[in-house]
Structure 1
Amino acid sequence: MHVLAPVDDSDCSFRALGFAAELADRYDGSVDVVHFADRDAADADAVVDRANRILDAQGVDADVEVSADADAEFRPSDSVGEQILELVAARGYDHVVMGHHGAGTLERAILGSAAETVLRADRVPVTVIP
């Protein structure tokens, strides 16, 4: 089982990463971790470090990747969802595990939801962790 775990700097995304690591371990699979950021994002290194600590603690060998976008000053979440779906198609993931912030109706209407975009596409099994 090849699992994709997109992370941001939220606690829910790191809970999802922990679940993804357990899932991959249970089914003798692998985990790839991706963080979408602008090229100058100060938090990217911190996100990668935190992801590596979680994976190391669970004894999982995984790739942590930062997908940098030089023009990403503002990126709606549904755009991130589309980027996740592009990775799923290009790399053939069997499962996506991701966190969801539980944004309200107004925030979802303005910004979208990466998790919702991936779920609605119905291209791959998805586990969403609050």
Structure 2
Amino acid sequence: MDVLVPIDGSDGSFRALVFAAEFVRKFDATLHVVHFSDEATSATDEILSRARDVLESADIESEPKLSTDMRLEFRPAERVGENVLELVTENGYEHVIMSHHGSGTVDRAILGSAAEKIVRSEAVPVTIVP
């Protein structure tokens, strides 16, 4: 089974990554980690480095990827959700593990929710880590 974990640098996304590392070990699956950004920066390098540390400490052989195929929009979380769904379709990922920031109704109306978009798509099983 191929499992995709999108990370955004938040503590929640790294909790999801730690959970995913244990999940793939238990189910003999392959872990794929991606960070979406509109460009590569020192911040994206730091996020990927932190992800490498998590993977290395879990003894998982996987290289986190940076996807810069991101269009800046008013609803960036919704676009991330679309990007994740595109990767699921293109690469045949069978499960997505990600965090949810627990945004309130107003925040969700303004910013959208990547996790909510993926869950509602029903395209792939999703595990949400709080």
**SS state of the match for residue 65, structure 2?**
strand
Between the two proteins, the alignment pairs up a number of residues equal to 130
Instruction: Report how far residue 24 of structure 1 moved.
Output: 0.8
| Residue 45 of structure 1: aligned partner | 45
**Amino acid paired to 2:43:** D
In the alignment, is residue 87 of structure 1 matched against residue 87 of structure 2? yes
What is the root-mean-square deviation of aligned Cα atoms in Å? 1.5
**Within-5 A mapping of 1:15-94:** 15-69=15-69, 71-72=71-72, 76-94=76-94
Runs of 4+ in 1 over 2 A off after TM superposition: 69-75
> For residues 48-107 of structure 1, what are the alpha-carbon distances to aligned partners after superposition, in whole Å with 9 as ceiling and x for unaligned?
011000011110011310001475376520111011000001101110000111111111
**SS state of the match for residue 59, structure 1?**
coil
| Residue 11 of structure 2: aligned partner | 11
State percent identity of aligned pairs: 49
TM-score, normalization: structure 2? 0.93
Instruction: Report how far residue 110 of structure 1 moved.
Output: 0.7
**Within-5 A mapping of 1:87-106:** 87-106=87-106
Q: Is residue 97–residue 127 contact of structure 2 (8 Å, CA) maintained in 1?
A: yes
Mind listing any 5+ residue stretches in structure 2 that lack a counterpart?
none
In the alignment, is residue 125 of structure 1 matched against residue 125 of structure 2? yes
In 2, distance between residues paired with 1:50 and 1:129?
18
In structure 2, the CA distance between the partners of 1:118 and 1:67, relative to structure 1 (3 Å rule), is: same
In structure 2, the CA distance between the partners of 1:58 and 1:101, relative to structure 1 (3 Å rule), is: same
Instruction: Report how far residue 42 of structure 1 moved.
Output: 3.1
TM-score, normalization: structure 1? 0.93
In 2, distance between residues paired with 1:99 and 1:28?
22
**Amino acid paired to 2:35:** H
